[in-house]
Amino acid sequence: MGYQLSMRLWRGDREGGALQDFAVEVEEGEVVLDAIHRVQATQAGDLAVRWNCKAGKCGSCSAEINGRSRLMCMTRLSDFGPQDVITVTPLRAFPVVRDLVTDVSYNYAKARELPAFAPTPPDADGKRRMMQADVERGQEFRKCIECFLCQNTCHVIRDHEENKPAFAGPRFFLRYAELDMHPLDTHDRRELAQSAAGIGLCNITKCCTEVCPENIKITDNAIIPMKERVVDRKYDPLVWLGSKIRRRDDRTEL
């Protein structure tokens, strides 16, 4: 069942690089990462590639496969014909470190800018109570494996390096939405989502949703509701009135 796969792998570093051709023996049922590992073990021992779980759970092996943002461990060779050339290049939105490895520290810096969860005190028995229906929205967002494919694909980041300081990206809009929808959080981060994270820059083209390997509906379930919540806070006269008459939302604004 095995065949010779033709691959083109980008090799290089910050100074520059180029696609390099490899021919590698592959087997039935294998994924792109298997082929790359075989190249590494037999032809290019120093080929840089980041990976961990090889089961789509850790989000380490993100790359661009024939130009599409994918996880190498979840891209099966059977998606391609035996004659097809598979080209793998590093994520384009982030600086290259070496070969297929990029510097994703932008994402870790953005994570640090986001104020943490701040719950209400527990009930008298030391436990907290939340209904399943109320945690499910947040649970969808917490499926995120931080592969940063959404960040890589989002054109606000991908095509505009200058936006990075003012824009946190879809992964972190998920996080803002998760916290905003958390039944027990006491902080209101809506102003921050707008001012510090730049959610207003997103024009909901849904590119992030398309590439999410966890099939999280990033745009529909997180970004759009979060945009609405931000707008409600600012402009909805009923919300404004409500907040004057009766503290409907007693969260602390950050």
Residues at the site binding another protein, with contacts judged by CB under 8 A: 13, 27-31, 34, 40-42, 44-60, 74, 76, 97-99, 101, 103-104, 108, 111-112, 116-117, 119, 122, 126-132, 135, 138-139, 142-146, 179, 182
Cβ 254 to another protein shortest distance, Å: 13
In the complex, minimum distance from the CB of residue 241 to another protein, in angstroms, rounded to a whole number: 32
CA nearest to 169, candidates 76, 106, 121, 250: 106
Min CB(206)–another protein separation in Å: 21
Residue nearer to another protein on the CB measure, 31 or 230: 31
The gap from C-alpha 248 to its chain's centroid, in whole angstroms, comes to 33
Which long-range contacts link 152-156 to residues 24+ away (Cβ below 8 Å)?
152/62, 152/64, 152/69, 152/91, 152/92, 152/93, 152/94, 152/211, 153/69, 153/93, 153/207, 153/208, 153/210, 153/211, 154/93, 154/202, 154/207, 154/208, 155/205, 155/207, 156/198, 156/201, 156/202
Smallest separation, CB 51 to another protein (Å): 7
Element (DSSP H or E) covering residue 245: helix 237-245
Asked if 178 and 136 touch (Cβ cutoff 8 Å), the reply is no
Instruction: Output 43 or 205, the one with its CB closest to another protein.
Output: 43
- Based on CB atoms, which residue is closest to another protein, 146 or 236? 146
- Minimum CB separation from another protein for residue 175, in Å? 9
**Would you say 32 or 154 has its CB closer to another protein?**
32
- Residue 22: which H helix or E strand, with range? strand 16-26
* Residue with smaller CB distance to another protein, 82 or 242: 82
